[in-house]
């Protein structure tokens, strides 16, 4: 991202510009420097006579003009690929949704986001046959009120009959990658599955990489939380990313678990990754 640098010092006699807002700079990212006091270009990436060298955050220039002062004002254009400010916002932590009910997430205010994407996670937590849950993403063109919610997109997921298996590690330590179980029916390499913790917000989704039949399931990353043998595995889970238009002011997700009137209960979680400054 092209950025006008305002934090700098200029040593005219040494022909040095120090980028005080950085610990290190990249020479290839320095685009143009103009001494606006004297109306003279002193660095141009496309002109070999107006080049320079870099050491940490100091640019030493090769211009030939010497009639400049340390107090001269410089206009410095720098291509800063790291200037985007990113953050994550958790709207709703793991929350239970009863069978044949409709729930809604907390709202996320996107008015100050340059870029936003939703991260939806969910899993079934009974062994009841389930023909699917409908997830409806709604956005609002208004910054407040409930009269301007509109549908952005919807999808159906969590279709099938989950297989529950008890965790037999006691405990499965945080960062552990091997989950011991008595049976592995319905668990396959590449499967995304859930660990439902007795403390629901400590639940998490995992990706299976090795199945040792009726013994253990190895996962690609260590678990975030410790799980005792009161935790259960469920093999029907989902993740879904929804990119939002930058014009969206607010967003929420409706979880229609009445899509199957006699199906399973479930749990879901909603986060938003966002770029707040470009």
Asked if pLDDT for residue 126 goes beyond 90, the answer is: yes
Domain of 208, in residue numbers: 164-234
DSSP the chain: -EEEE-SEEEETTTTEEEETT-S---GGGEEEEEETTTTEEEEETT-GGG-EEEETTEEEE--------TT--EEEEEE-TT--EEEEEEEEEEEEE-TT-EEEPPPEE-TT-SEEEEEEEEEE-SSS-B--EEEEEEEESSSS-STTEEEEEEEEE--B---EEE--SSSB-TT--EEE-S--TT--TT-EEEEE-SSGGG-EEEEEEEEETTTEEEESS--SS-B-TT-EEES-EEEEEEEE-TT--EEEEEEETTSSTT---EEEEEEEEEEEE-
Identify whether residues 175 and 223 lie together within a single domain: yes
Domain closes at, from 79, 102, 137: 79
Number of independent structural domains in the chain: 3
pLDDT tens per residue, range 187-199 = 999 999 999 999 9
Residues 135 and 170 in one domain: no
Same domain, 207 and 92: no
Let me know whether 60 and 187 are in one domain: no
Residue 203, pLDDT above cutoff 60: yes
Domain finish residue from 54, 79, 104: 79
Residue 128 belongs to domain with CATH number: 2.60.120.200
Give the C-alpha separation, 160 to 173, whole Å. Answer: 30
**pTM beyond 0.85, yes or no:** no
45 and 183, same domain (yes or no): no
pLDDT of residue 82: 61
**Which single residue is written with the structure tokens 């958790």?**
90
Asked which of 79, 104, 138 is the last residue of a domain, the reply is 79
pLDDT tens digits along 59-76: 999 998 778 999 999 999
Provide the pLDDT confidence category of residue 117 given band limits of 50, 70 and 90: very high
Do residues 264 and 197 share a domain? no
pLDDT of residue 129: 98
The share of the chain scoring above pLDDT 90, in percent, equals 86
Note the pLDDT tens digit of each residue in 136-152: 999 998 989 999 999 99
């Amino acid at each position: 991202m092209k950025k006008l640098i305002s934090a700098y010092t200029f040593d005219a006699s040494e022909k040095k510009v120090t980028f005080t807002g950085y610990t290190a700079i990249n020479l290839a990212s320095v685009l143009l420097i103009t001494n606006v006091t004297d109306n003279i270009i002193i660095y141009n990436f496309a002109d070999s006579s107006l080049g320079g060298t870099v050491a940490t955050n100091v640019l030493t220039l090769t211009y030939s003009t010497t009639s400049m002062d340390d107090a001269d004002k410089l206009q410095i254009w720098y291509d800063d690929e790291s200037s985007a400010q990113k953050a994550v916002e958790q709207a709703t932590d793991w929350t239970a949704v009863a069978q044949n009910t409709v729930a809604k997430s907390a709202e996320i205010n996107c008015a100050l986001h340059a870029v936003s994407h939703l991260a939806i996670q969910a899993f079934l937590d009974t062994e009841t046959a389930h023909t699917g849950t409908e997830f409806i993403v709604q956005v609002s063109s208004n910054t407040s009120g409930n009269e301007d919610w509109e549908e952005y997109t919807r999808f159906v997921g969590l279709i099938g009959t989950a297989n529950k298996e008890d965790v037999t590690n006691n405990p499965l330590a945080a960062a552990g990658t091997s989950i011991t179980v008595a049976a592995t029916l319905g668990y396959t390499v590449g499967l995304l599955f859930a660990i439902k913790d007795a403390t629901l917000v400590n639940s998490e989704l995992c990706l299976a990489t090795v199945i040792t039949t009726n013994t253990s399931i190895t996962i690609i990353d260590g678990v975030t939380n410790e799980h005792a043998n009161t935790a259960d595995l469920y093999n029907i889970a989902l993740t879904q990313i929804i990119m939002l238009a930058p014009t969206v002011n607010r967003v929420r997700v409706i979880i229609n678990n009445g899509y199957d009137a006699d199906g399973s209960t479930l749990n879901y979680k909603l986060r938003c990754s966002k770029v707040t400054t470009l």
